[in-house]
Structures are given as structure tokens and as C-alpha cells.
Structure 1
Amino acid sequence: MGVKTKNEATLISILWAVDCMNAHHMNQVNFAVEASEMVGAVNRPKAWPSFSFQSNEILHSLEKMNALKFTQEPHNANRGATLIAQSSSNHPRLQSYVATGGPLWLEELFENERSAALVVQS
């Protein structure tokens, strides 16, 4: 059958991310996704009636944990996640980066992202 639309792929990805965080007992998570329509559907479901199915599925999944935020983030704001996704597609791993604490080859990039985020928050 397969995934037919980008919105369907986005929904599956969000549900998978929530499920993974829950499986790792990470119950206080800020979720940041690119899809502004999904963020709108979760944060203001009545304003996004055409996304009610997606909204209900995500909200039901989030009930299992104490998600702190569900926000929109542009693609270029999370270069580390993009590089990990490309890496895992090109070079399958036997163990998840989440389980091992992240790839060492991205340590400097993540430190730069943390520093930039702290400057923005100040």
C-alpha cells in the first residue's frame, strides 16, 4: 500500500518520534517539526478542521507523555538531525544514535547549535 502523500509521511514520522521518545522513557520533550500545518493542527485543532484526523492521532500519542511544547522549526535550523537522517539512510546502523548518545562526528555541530540557541533565548 505505501505512503501516498507528504502529509501522511509527516504524520507517520511524528507518531514514530513520539513513540520512540516514550519507549526511551523521555517523557518531557519539546517536539519541533517543519510542518507548520501539523503544528497548527496540534496546538489549535479547531482552527485546522481539515487536519482533524492528524490532530487527533498526534494528540492521542502525546497523551502518553508530558510533551512540553510542539512547535514549528524551519528545516535549516536543525542541521544535525538532517545529517543524522542522511547518514542513517546511507549507512545503516545496528544501534540507534538516540541509544548511543549521538554521533561523535557531529559533536562540534551540536555544540554550535546549542550556543546559537542560548544566544537567541537571551
Structure 2
Amino acid sequence: MVASQLEAELLSFLWAAESLSTLRHKNVVFESSSYLAGEAVLNPDNFPMFHGLIDVIREKLSRLQLWSIAYVHSGANQCAEAIARSVTRDQRYASYVGKDGPSWLLPMIHADAVRADNGY
């Protein structure tokens, strides 16, 4: 059982790091609306209660050539929100986002890219 919001965010981060390293991605920017989760991964000594989980996350990250964490406002990444809704609504507990993602997501990916280019 997940005991806190931060633990849930870290478990999500672990899933993402593990998935992307398994897919052999090399350069990854992780975006999160949880500032604390990013801080925990970057400064694990400040979060001793999650030491074991953060160690596993950092081991998965070490498989990537280059990675960074960026904090984003929750409304700034509509794609991530749509995927999360789809996963919980449709009970898709195994990863189903591959190289290009599901076709219903493509227009949203393009819209997010335009917003990012415009500084939103």
C-alpha cells in the first residue's frame, strides 16, 4: 500500500525510469508536476525515509546516457494527464505507450509541442 503522495510520485518516477531504460532510450527529460519528487531524486540525503526507493530509481537512471528532471505545472502537460486518465479508467496497468504512442494521443502531443514552443 502506498503511504503518501510523495511515495506515489516516486513509484511513478521509478516506473518511468525503468520503462525508458528498458526501451533503450539514451537522453531523457523527465517532467513532473511534483517538485518534491524531483528534489528527492536529485537530493536523496534530504529524504531518508525513501532511501531504498530512491536508490532503485537512481540505479535505473544510471542506465540512461543523459537525463534531467524538469518541474512543470500540472496543466502544462496535457499528454501526461490524458495517459494517466486512460490508464486508470481502462485499467491499463502494463505500459502501452510505445514509440509514437496511441493514435488518439497524437493531436495532443502536437498541441503540447506548440504550447512548449510558445513558452507555455
Q: How would you bin the TM-score normalised by the shorter chain?
A: 0.7 to 0.9
Distance in 1 (CA, whole Å) between partners of 2:104 and 2:118 is 24
* Deviation by residue 1:70-108 (Cα, 9 ceiling, x = unmatched): 111111111111112211222245974422621222322
Higher RCO (Cα < 8 Å, 6 or more apart): 2
| TM-score between the two structures when normalised by the length of structure 2 | 0.79
- The reply on whether 1:37 has 2:36 as its aligned counterpart is yes
Specify the SS of the correspondent of 1:4: coil
The count of corresponding residues between Structure 1 and Structure 2 is 119
Work out the percentage of aligned pairs sharing the same amino acid: 25
* Deviation by residue 1:3-34 (Cα, 9 ceiling, x = unmatched): 11111111111011100001111121111111
**Structure ID, larger Rg:** 1
Q: Contact 2:32–2:70 (CA<8 Å) still a contact in 1?
A: yes
Q: Contact 1:14–1:58 (CA<8 Å) still a contact in 2?
A: yes
* Deviation by residue 1:26-56 (Cα, 9 ceiling, x = unmatched): 121111111111222333456x355662554
Residue 59 of structure 1: CA displacement? 2.5
User: What are the ranges of 5 or more consecutive residues in structure 2 without an aligned counterpart?
Assistant: none
- The reply on whether 1:105 has 2:104 as its aligned counterpart is yes
Deviates more, 1:88-97 or 1:36-45: 88-97
| TM-score between the two structures when normalised by the length of structure 1 | 0.78
Deviates more, 1:85-94 or 1:108-117: 85-94
